[in-house]
């Protein structure tokens, strides 16, 4: 069976170019399609390049097998699915061709002419160009409706971000399917308007240019500049190190020179970069573990340079109108491993950010002060939402989009979500609401534990619980049906959000659809889980789930009434249909009940290593709460959540999770 996503059927995929990124692109596709009998071919004119590509791919697969990431069956299937050839006739039969060759217009034109001769009119043409506009790359293709740029980031098999750049003639329906396809296979796609360098590379290459300009102005050494850029912008590595790791001198040199003509005159390849490119030399960066000391005066100069320049570059992209603030904030952070620019401006304070950019632009006179930053300052900061909204058949579809943390909840996320719910509730053109999560792994991975770790007193615990409950109470009280579409697992606060909705539908076959893992961490649920879950599935069943943190599969969740349906096809489409059935009365909501005739007292359960102290508290929440009206029961839960703050076991649980991760059991002392 081929892999199918909506209108896309994939049995064969070809990658043109066996250089640095092409093999990694192919490796990612082979990894996600290994069960679907999809075949792959990598084409290159160089036998040596193909041999290197094979060695690179098989080395990564072997390492994945050694670490346990790939089982032998998967590793063998991935290797066997990839062919390597210099013969373009092997592209025949492809459903998708991804070009990842040299950044040269003539070469790309020659490649796609050959590909067009070997494929039919339904084959999609993608270019992994890092700069060139799709209208230039595909200018001689007869059917431009199936062409677009899909720009990956280093390393392509692991970095999730893909910029999807349609051309002027690209079919919008195909773009929508490609965006969905990338999300379905674990990528984080953002749609970007056609512009040289797209949205993210001008920021990355602009920061590289800035670093080299600082070097030429004697603001610091390579090592000092690298360290301060990394520290100031919280980068994974500094700009000089990034250029070394990616072999990026030639393409950055070329890109900056082109952007001088396509964008603004500030962009240009500094003389030092030109010389490094010509001589093929790398930057003299710090060795692993080497400490680099930077004087206070230099540090302050470099801090202002990088904050002012980074903010100016991000705002410049918004001024171009090719991306949204939400997309660019999220994608820049993930793709470049750097602080999200607009969030960082808000955190720094919009007034200070404005002044930093103003001072920076006064030094860098070729860079115009960004119009969007003036507007953000007038509005008191950047409006950044973690929720994306679309509308289908009079249903508002709200997607929680925090892929970096698997859609974990914090107060900002809940505030954004409730704002969108209330907007939809007030919209006369909207009949119902669907809430889902971005990606395929998690609906919501839980609450942000960094936030919980800051709670020091019972009052703070109570306030935190009460605040979260208030948001979910608003969802429960919505006058229009709210369907939770579980695209992946719902842990902790994610499940509490789900059970506050009118109804729930899950993607069919999920091995884990829900879990309340709080007791593993030494506290109890605080957003309604100890009260709504017993009223939804029954006291005894809920108590086992809550007290043991046992994960619940989709099949089990359907049996016990935790979810109402499973979706065989497209989850969101079926959730929208379900929502409209609730509106029409064709479907009815499952009501919460205060008592199901279950136990009045806790049953004996084997809780293993878990805290007896926390088990005592959660039993009080469940078995005393079920006797109360829901509003009083939620108040009880908040008070008991506050009690957890004083226990040793909550401190032990959170510290263990932060230090050792979720797989290591905490050594509770039961106090």
* DSSP-assigned letter for residue 409: B
Closest CA to 316 of 157, 472, 206: 206
* Given the residues 333, 518, 566, 637, the one annotated as active site: 518
Q: Is the dihedral of CA 251, 255, 257, 258 positive or negative?
A: positive
HEC assignment per residue over 622-665: HHHHCCCCHHHHHHHHHHHHHHHCCCHHHHHHHHHHHHHCCCCC
Please answer whether residues 502 and 589 qualify as being in contact, where contact means their C-beta atoms are separated by less than 8 angstroms: yes
496 catalytically annotated: yes
* Given the residues 163, 183, 496, 566, the one annotated as active site: 496
Please answer whether residues 326 and 384 qualify as being in contact, where contact means their C-beta atoms are separated by less than 8 angstroms: yes
CA dihedral angle for residue 644, residue 645, residue 649, residue 653, rounded to 10 degrees: 110
Distance CA 487, CA 403 (A): 13
**Helix 47-67 crosses helix 22-32 at what angle (to 10 degrees)?**
40
Beta bridge partners of 390: 397
Distances (CA, A) of 319 to 89, 337, 405: 44, 23, 29
Distances (CA, A) of 249 to 258, 313, 477, 624: 14, 20, 57, 66
324's CB contacts (< 8 A; 6+ apart) are none
Distance CA 24, CA 155 (A): 7
Which is it for strands 161-166 and 82-85: parallel, antiparallel or unpaired?
unpaired
Closest CA to 184 of 402, 439, 485, 441: 439
68's CB contacts (< 8 A; 6+ apart) are none
Please identify every residue annotated as catalytic: 496, 518
């Amino acid at each position: 069976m081929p892999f199918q996503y909506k209108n896309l059927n994939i049995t064969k995929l070809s990658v043109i170019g066996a250089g640095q990124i092409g093999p990694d692109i192919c490796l990612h596709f082979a990894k996600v399609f290994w069960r679907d009998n999809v075949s792959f071919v990598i084409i290159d004119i160089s036998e040596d390049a193909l041999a290197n590509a094979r060695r690179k791919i098989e080395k990564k697969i072997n390492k994945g097998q050694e670490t346990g990431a790939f089982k032998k069956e998967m590793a063998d299937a991935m290797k066997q699915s990839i062919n390597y050839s210099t013969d373009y006739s092997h592209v025949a039969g492809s459903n998708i061709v991804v070009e990842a060759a040299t950044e040269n217009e003539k070469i790309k034109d020659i490649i796609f002419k050959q590909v067009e001769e070997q494929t039919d009119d339904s084959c999609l043409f993608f270019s992994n160009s890092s700069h060139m506009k799709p209208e230039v790359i595909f200018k001689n293709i007869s059917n431009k409706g199936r062409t677009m740029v899909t720009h990956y980031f280093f390393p392509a098999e692991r970095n999730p971000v893909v910029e999807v750049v349609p051309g002027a003639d690209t079919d919008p329906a195909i773009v929508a399917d490609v965006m969905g396809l990338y999300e379905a296979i674990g990528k984080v796609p953002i749609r970007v308007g056609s512009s040289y360098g797209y949205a993210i590379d001008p920021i990355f290459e602009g920061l590289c240019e800035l670093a080299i300009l600082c070097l030429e102005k004697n603001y610091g050494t390579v090592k000092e500049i690298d360290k301060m850029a990394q520290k100031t912008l919280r980068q994974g590595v500094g700009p000089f190190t990034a250029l070394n790791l990616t072999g990026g001198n030639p393409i950055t040199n070329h890109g900056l020179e082109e952007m001088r003509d396509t964008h603004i005159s500030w962009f240009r390849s500094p003389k030092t970069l030109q010389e490094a490119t010509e001589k093929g030399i790398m930057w003299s960066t710090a060795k692993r573990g080497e400490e680099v000391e930077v004087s206070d005066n230099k540090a302050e100069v470099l801090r202002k340079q990088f904050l002012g320049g980074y903010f100016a570059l991000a705002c410049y992209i918004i001024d171009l109108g090719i991306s949204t603030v939400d997309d660019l904030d999220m994608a820049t952070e993930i793709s470049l491993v750097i602080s999200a620019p607009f969030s960082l401006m808000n955190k720094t304070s919009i007034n200070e950010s404005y002044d930093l950019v103003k001072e920076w632009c006064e030094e860098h006179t070729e860079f115009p002060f960004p119009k969007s930053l003036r507007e953000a300052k007038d509005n008191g900061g950047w409006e950044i939402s973690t929720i994306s909204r679309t509308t289908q058949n009079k249903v508002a579809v709200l997607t929680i989009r925090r892929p970096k943390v698997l859609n974990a909840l914090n107060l900002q996320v809940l505030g954004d979500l409730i704002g969108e719910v209330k907007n939809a509730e007030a919209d006369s053109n909207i009949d119902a609401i669907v809430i889902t999560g971005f990606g395929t792994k998690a609906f919501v991975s839980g609450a942000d534990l960094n936030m919980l770790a800051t709670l020091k007193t019972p009052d703070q615990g109570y306030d935190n619980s009460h605040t979260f409950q208030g948001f979910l109470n608003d969802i429960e009280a919505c006058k229009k049906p709210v369907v939770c579409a579980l695209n992946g697992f719902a842990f902790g606060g994610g499940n509490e959000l789900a059970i506050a909705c009118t109804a729930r539908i899950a993607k069919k076959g999920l091995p884990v659809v829900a879990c309340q893992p709080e007791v593993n961490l030494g506290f109890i649920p605080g957003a309604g889980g100890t009260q709504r879950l017993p009223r939804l599935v029954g006291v005894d069943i809920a108590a086992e789930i809550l007290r043991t943190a046992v994960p619940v599969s989709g099949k089990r969740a359907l049996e016990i009434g935790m979810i109402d349906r499973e979706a065989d096809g497209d989850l969101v489409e079926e959730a929208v249909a379900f929502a409209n059935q609730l509106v029409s009365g064709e479907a009815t909501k499952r009501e919460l009940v205060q008592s199901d005739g279950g136990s009045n007292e806790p049953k004996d359960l084997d809780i293993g290593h878990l805290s007896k102290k926390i088990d005592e508290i959660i039993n009080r929440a469940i078995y005393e709460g079920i006797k109360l009206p829901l509003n009083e029961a939620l108040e009880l839960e908040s008070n008991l959540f506050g009690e957890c703050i004083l226990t040793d076991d909550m401190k032990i649980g959170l510290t263990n999770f932060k230090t050792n991760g979720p797989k290591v059991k905490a050594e509770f002392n039961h106090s």
